Each structure stands twice: as structure tokens, then as C-alpha cells.
Structure 1
Amino acid sequence: MTDVDMFATSDQRTRYEQYRQLRELGPVVRLREPDTYAVTRYAEVKAALADHTSFISGEGVGFNPELNQMIRGTTLVSDPPEHDLLRSVVADGLKPRVIRGRGEEIAQKARSLVADVVSKGEIEGVRELAEAMPMSVIPDFLGLPERNRDHLYEWAKVGGDLLGPVTERTPQNLEMTQSMVRFTHELAENREVAPGSLSAAMLEAADEGVIPPEKCPLLFIDYINPSLETTASAIGHLLVIFAERPDQWAALRAEPGLVASTINELVRYESPFRGFTRVATRDTELGGVTIPRGARVWPLVASANRDERKWERADEFDFRRNPIDHLGFGYGTHTCAGQGVARLELHALIHALLDSVERIELTGDPVIAENAMVNTYAEIPVRLVTGKAA
């Protein structure tokens, strides 16, 4: 057991040091507050995520009981067979061939966005690039109406924070989440979605009796929130990482074929989400530790992705590493369903930046966002210096 407060700060360096301390203590460490079994090392985190019968999601995946109840019955907070049924509803819209069919459209959005920010030179990287990229893609991909688009990102941003323990931010976060819930109910009731979109497929599944109609608003939330904030987090880290490592940016411009490797290393090195919790359905041994039935378990994906037992030079960023088995998109039953779209967005944006930007320079100190569960920035003052691709 340890008294380490895993929610004392959002500072990235402090969190990574805490993860290291926990890994040294053992593969499974009991946190005193909140009372949780933290799974710290790569092998054990992967094993826990793979065992959806011993460690279930249907009892909530966060530390806030009110939010766990509010989002119960989403794909995120459900278990097979319900989870498999809900996930199948959107599976067709997320198949690789469908996503690839949107590739040129997304690439054009990325080129247009990069051209705009490059023309400005100095930008606030979170708002003008990291947030702007998924906001240019996801609402159209989901078939959402124009109304409330200016609220979508703020709503998505508080969702991850709410999954942590209650803080002084919780009341306002809950209020914003309730606004989003009302909006998604209106979408379903009024059928305010574009024909042929992912959202339309959800409504059609309800019409055909595949899923209960009351599931549609929950599924809307399920795909809006993670598709915006986690991708924006990755883009923000991309800017900071390469601003601090100009030699790697120059090398990547010379080897643009390594963009896919870069994306894997980016998500390993700065995992956007710390990890969803589970609840043990029975006494289960993991890493030599018996986790009792009913205990809340926290597979720390962000710690696993920095585990020295798995990765050489785990605390170094190397775009050539290509860690294809990182856990940044989850693993097992709850592997991120939308990761194909996220990868396509990142791929398009990085290539657009490589074509236009010779150097990425910080013009001030990045500001870390206060968020219990998401690893992200609030502000990144940055200058994009143009130059022809190598």
C-alpha cells in the first residue's frame, strides 16, 4: 500500500515520476486514497485489460460515482454481450475501408488548417491546431448539425476530468456534461443528423430494433467525447515534443515514411489518457497479488507505456522506435473503436506540417491543463517556421 497521491497534480513530470515509483513498488500497488489497486507494469496492465470477465467496466470506469452512473450503458461502461452489441452498431462506419475512403477529405482539411496557421507564424497551438484538427473532422464524420458545434470541444474536455475523484471543478464539469446529455437527447429525438453518417446508423439500428432507442443519446456521447479530446491531446504533445527536439523533426522531414512509427511513439510516450478503472468480479491474482472481489482496479496505461521492463530507454522519445504494441489505444474488448480515424487525422496533419514547416519553436512555456485523467495542455505558444520539405 502507498500514500502517493496520484491526483495531487496534473504536472506531467511529477506523474511520470509517480508511475516509476509505483512500478518499483510492484506490478500491483494498493493506493490508500482513493482505495484502488493500481496496475503499474506493462505485462500486468495488458493482462488486466485482456481479462474482461474478471475486471469489468459495467460498474463504472472512473472514480466519480455520479458520472459512472450517468454514462452507464455506453460502450465504455458496459460488458459483453451488451458491449459487443452496442459496438457492432457503429462497426461498419469505422471499418478500415470506410475510413480510408475519407482519407483525401481529411488530408485536405489538414492541409487547409496548416496553411492557415502557417500564414500566421505564431499561434496558440492548442486552440488553433490541436483542437481545430479533430473539430474540422469529427462533427462532419458523425453527421452532427451546426448548432452547438462551438460547445462540443468544451463538453468533451470536461468528460475525462470528471472520471477522476471529485474536485472543485466537478460541479461546473457536471453542469456542462448535463448540457451535452440534453443535446444528444435532442439529436436522437429530432433526428438532427446527416443521412449516411455514423450517427444516422445508430438511429437506424434503433429503428430496426437492434438496440433500444434510449441507447442512442449515450452512444452519441460515447463517440463525441474521446474522438475530440484525446486526439487534440496527442497533437499538442506532438508540437511540444518536436519543438524540444528539432533534430528529430529535421530527421522526420527527411524520412516522412516514418510518420506511422511517429504516431505510435507519440501515443506511447505521452499517452493521452492515464487509464480507465475496472471492478474485480472475483478474487483474482495478478502479478502475484490477490485482488479481492469488488475492488476497484486501475490499469495505468500511461505507466505501462513507460515501463522499463518493456521498452529500452522508456523515458526517451524516438520517432524511429515504432512501438506497435503500445497500450495508448487500450487493449482487448475495449480497444479504442475510433483509433483508425484518430490515426488518419494525425497522419494527415503530420504530413501537412512536414510539407510546410521547417522548425517548430516554442515562444513561451506550455501550460498544462488541469485534468484528473487526461494528459493534455491548456496552452502552447508556438511559432511555425516555414521551409521546403527535405
Structure 2
Amino acid sequence: MLKTSCPALDIDPWTQDNLIDPYPGWSLMRDAGPVVYLSRYDIYALPRYSPVRSALSNWQDFSSANGALLTEEMNQATAGMTLHTDPPEHQQLRGVLRRPLTHDGIEELEDDLRTQAETLVELLIRKGTFEGVNELAEYLPMAVVSRQVGLPEEGRTNMLAWSDATGDTGGPMNDRFHAALPMIQEALAYSYDPTLPSRLKPGGWAQRLWDAAEVGDLPLSKCPTMLMDYWGPALGTTVAAISWTVWQFSRHPDQWTQIRRNPALLPNAILESVRLESPLAHLSRTATRDLEIDGIMIPAGSRVLMMFGSANRDDRKFDEPERFDIHRRTIGHMGFGFGEHTCIGQSLARLQMKLLFGALLERVTRFEVNDFTPAVNNMLHGVERMQVTLHTH
């Protein structure tokens, strides 16, 4: 194949304007080529669907072992997360991490999640109008899931702030990165506190990490940073997914009406929302050798950006990709990642959304959203605030 030079773009995807409205920049990058070189940051980016999917299937060439964040400083600070490992170590750590997230483990939470969802919906209907992110989207992740992790109260109340800070320090060293550093330092100090294991909730997910280390299933040194796999991007992405889904239903009331008539459409509608507004915008890998994608060379040692959000809006894969369509065949979308590092908590996130919107289906005829403000975060694509009114007639 004839080798071509890599398109170089002098754009900054991490400006405030581009984080609030990333879609024009993503489109520009997809049009430029299957690989683009972001000269301001000396990184290569994969903005199209097929190259991202292929790269995520090939951990040998696109390695996570040197970290999945954009800066070496943060990759070193959070070394030990499953996010920063390749097989076979990755399977060992992931196997321990996912024990409470198996089908049986999640099934044990379903009754509690359903009860909490129904109670919340009843409360919000009585209020009528409320702040949608804090009062709706954050509720189940914080009321149920954070409790299952089993941190002492001071840790539990900070989990969401730590998650947001993880997103900001997952990007380049801009102002948001530096503003979030103290929060990450606080989180790491908390996780590495030698007294923490004695204060964990017995039987909680965190306690089970130390239990696994005690029987030799993982090194004890891995436990503190593996805590970040429970409160890191996973918590914030679930909140973002719920928020964006409310937003989509407010903009497409006809599709909400269709789901009310046929609730079997709800699971696919959730997947379509996650595809369209992928809560995790990107992660990165390191090229382990000189690589070629569609005739474009990526030098060994380069950091390569896997652009999930852009890939999920690629018209080479999805017909009219910027349209919200609850009937779309969503198989293959990468809103939960793909390959070895597919989101370990996606089943739990999907269950929370199914139960929450299932409870809303029974009572709510229409969502009205005002004062909608997207979040500005270097890695997480979420919502800062939105005023929601629930209509029941």
C-alpha cells in the first residue's frame, strides 16, 4: 500500500468551546483522515470508527501498559489501575475487580435499585421541577452504588468529585488539569492511607480487594489504586449517561411516547443515547512498534488517542449518526469501550438506567429541560446542570 503522510491539524480539542461543543472538531478530524496528528500535543488521534475498533482489538500493538491517560505524570501517579495494564496482568486484576459485578452480584442489587428508583421518581414528580443532574442523575450512583463500594462516609461523599477530577487529569496539562490536581492528590492520599483497610465496610467491594490480596489473588500493592476503578471515570460516566438520556427524551418527546407504548424499546434507547453522547470521550494507548493504518504511519512509542465519542458519530459506520433513533441497530457502538478494556461496570450502569427510566415511564408523559449547560471536562462528556420539569398529563 502506498504510504501517505499523516494529516497534521493545529487544533485544540480541549479548549472550553470545543469541550462544550466537540462535534464540529470531531467532524473536521474524521474528514481529515483515519489518523490525524495533533501538533499542539504531539499525539496521534483515531477519530473514525474502524481504526478505533481495530486498535482496541489489538493490545499487543496499542498497549495500555504505559497508561491510558494523556500525560506521563498522571499515568505514573495512577499506575496500578486495571486501566493501565495489558494481558495477562489485566485479566488477573479485572477478574478480581469484576467479582461483585457478575450477573449474580448485580442481580442482588436489583431490588434495592428498583425501590430507590421508584421512591426517587415519586419524590421528583411531587416537586415537579428540579435540578436534573444533582437530584436525578446522581441519585442511584450515589445512593446505591457508592454505598456498595464500602468506603467510610468521608470517602463516599467525595467519590463523585474524585471521578470528575480523574476526567480532568486524564487530558493534557491545561488549566483544568492543574485545578483538578489537588483533588486527585487528596484521593490518592485517601486510598493509600494505611488505616483505610481497617475502616472499610465488611463485605463491600473495596474490602473484597484487600481480601483477594490476603489469599494471593492480587498483589497487596495494587489495592489502593484499584479503588480508583470503582470511583474513577465509571461513576461520573453513569451520571453523564443518565443526564444525556433525559436531555434526549426532552428533545424527542415522540420517541419517549413510543417507549411508553412499548417499554421493550427502552434498553435499546439507552444504548442509542450512550452511542450518541458517549460519556467517556477518549482514552489513549502507546504504539509498541511502527504501525500503519490505511497507509499512514504511526511511529513506535507514540501516544495514540482512541476517540470513542467521535467514532460513535462516524457516518462510515452509522447512518445519520447525529440523529437520536431508538430503533437504530446499536450493536457495535463503543460508548462502553471495546476489547480488553470494555467497561467493566456497563451491566450495572445499564441496569440503573433501565430501572430509573422504567419507573419514569409509568408516570411521566413528557420531559421539559431548561437551563441546560454541558459540563466542561478534559475526558468526561457530561452535563453540568439542567432544570427538569416532569409532566404527568
Give the TM-score, by structure 2 length: 0.94
Q: Do the aligned residues in 1 keep the contact of 2:197 with 2:207 (CA within 8 Å)?
A: no
The answer for the alignment partner of 1:386 in structure 2 is: 392
Q: State the distance in 2 between where 1:212 and 1:140 align.
A: 25
Measured after TM superposition, the shift of residue 244 of structure 1 is 1.3
* 1:306-321 equivalent positions in 2, closer than 5 A: 306-321=313-328
Q: State the distance in 1 between where 2:179 and 2:28 align.
A: 33
The answer for the alignment partner of 1:59 in structure 2 is: 66
Task: Deviation per CA, 1:48-68: give whole Å up to 9, x if none.
Answer: 111101011121212233211
- After superposition, the Cα gap between the structure-2 partners of 1:188 and 1:324, relative to the gap in structure 1 and judged at 3 Å, is farther
- After superposition, the Cα gap between the structure-2 partners of 1:202 and 1:299, relative to the gap in structure 1 and judged at 3 Å, is same
Q: Do the aligned residues in 2 keep the contact of 1:356 with 1:386 (CA within 8 Å)?
A: yes
Residue 192 (structure 1) aligned with residue 192 (structure 2): no
- After superposition, the Cα gap between the structure-2 partners of 1:10 and 1:51, relative to the gap in structure 1 and judged at 3 Å, is farther
Q: State the distance in 2 between where 1:24 and 1:74 align.
A: 34
Q: Do the aligned residues in 2 keep the contact of 1:188 with 1:203 (CA within 8 Å)?
A: no
The answer for the alignment partner of 1:369 in structure 2 is: 375
Q: Structure 2 counterpart of 1:54, which letter?
A: D
Measured after TM superposition, the shift of residue 47 of structure 1 is 0.3
Gaps of 5+ in 1: none
Q: Structure 1 counterpart of 2:27, which letter?
A: R
Q: Structure 2 counterpart of 1:244, which letter?
A: R
Q: Do the aligned residues in 2 keep the contact of 1:188 with 1:217 (CA within 8 Å)?
A: no
The answer for the alignment partner of 2:22 in structure 1 is: 15
Q: Structure 2 counterpart of 1:315, which letter?
A: E
Q: Structure 1 counterpart of 2:322, which letter?
A: D
User: Which deviates further from its counterpart, 37-46 or 170-179?
Assistant: 170-179
Q: State the distance in 1 between where 2:200 and 2:161 align.
A: 20
Q: Do the aligned residues in 2 keep the contact of 1:262 with 1:322 (CA within 8 Å)?
A: no
The answer for the alignment partner of 1:123 in structure 2 is: 130
2:371 is paired with a residue of what secondary structure? coil
Q: State the distance in 1 between where 2:277 and 2:266 align.
A: 16
The answer for the alignment partner of 1:253 in structure 2 is: 260
The answer for the alignment partner of 2:3 in structure 1 is: none
Measured after TM superposition, the shift of residue 190 of structure 1 is 3.3
Q: State the distance in 2 between where 1:287 and 1:334 align.
A: 24
Measured after TM superposition, the shift of residue 352 of structure 1 is 1.1
Measured after TM superposition, the shift of residue 367 of structure 1 is 1.1
Task: Deviation per CA, 1:216-275: give whole Å up to 9, x if none.
Answer: 111111111223100000111111111111111111111111111011101100000111
Of all paired residues, the percent bearing the same amino acid is 38
The answer for the alignment partner of 2:84 in structure 1 is: 77
* 1:1-390 equivalent positions in 2, closer than 5 A: 1-9=8-16, 11=18, 14-186=21-193, 189-362=196-369, 364-387=370-393
Q: Do the aligned residues in 2 keep the contact of 1:158 with 1:173 (CA within 8 Å)?
A: yes
Measured after TM superposition, the shift of residue 382 of structure 1 is 1.4
Measured after TM superposition, the shift of residue 11 of structure 1 is 5.0
Q: Do the aligned residues in 2 keep the contact of 1:11 with 1:368 (CA within 8 Å)?
A: no
Aligned residue pairs, count = 386
Measured after TM superposition, the shift of residue 175 of structure 1 is 0.6
Structure 1 vs Structure 2 CA RMSD:
1.6
